[in-house]
Amino acid sequence: KAGVTQTPRYLIKTRGQQVTLSCSPISGHRSVSWYQQTPGQGLQFLFEYFSETQRNKGNFPGRFSGRQFSNSRSEMNVSTLELGDSALYLCPPCRNTEAFFGQGTRLTVV
C-alpha cells in the first residue's frame, strides 16, 4: 500500500515554463524525500525534508526547489523547464528509514 498521494498524476509542460508538484504523505510521516526517475539515469535523489527543514539535497541545479509544510505535505518546484526534466517524480514518506513509494507524477516537457 502506497503511503503517499501525489498530484497531479500526469502533467505536460512546455520548455521554459515552471511547474509545482504536490505530495501528501499519510499522516504521521514527518520525513519526505523527492526522487527523479528516468529510464537512463534510474532513481536520483533530489531533496529530503524532516519537520519542514531540508535535511539533505542532491546534485540538481538550483532550478529545482522544494519545501515541506507543517502538515507534512510537500511541494517541489522546477523553474525554466528543460526537455531533460521529463521524468517520473516520486516523494516517498519515510518511517523507520523505510520509504513508501507511490505512483508519482509523470512530467513531460515538450
Partner 1 sequence: AQSVSQHNHHVILSEAASLELGCNYSYGGTVNLFWYVQYPGQHLQLLLKYFSGDPLVKGIKGFEAEFIKSKFSFNLRKPSVQWSDTAEYFCAVNSYNTDKLIFGTGTRLQVFP
Regarding 48 and contact with partner 1 (CB under 8 A), the answer is yes
Size of interface with partner 1, in residues (CB under 8 A): 24
Q: Which is nearer to partner 1, 56 or 108 (CB)?
A: 56
Regarding 98 and contact with partner 1 (CB under 8 A), the answer is yes
Write the CA distances from 38 to 12, 92, 93, 100, integer angstroms.
16, 16, 20, 19
Q: Which is nearer to partner 1, 66 or 102 (CB)?
A: 102
Contact 100/90 with Cβ under 8 angstroms?
Answer: no
Contact 78/19 with Cβ under 8 angstroms?
Answer: yes
Q: In angstroms, give the least distance from the CB of 41 to partner 1.
A: 8
Contact 18/81 with Cβ under 8 angstroms?
Answer: yes
Binding residues (CB under 8 A) for partner 1: these are 2, 31, 33, 35, 41-45, 48, 50, 55-56, 58, 90, 92, 94, 97-99, 101-104
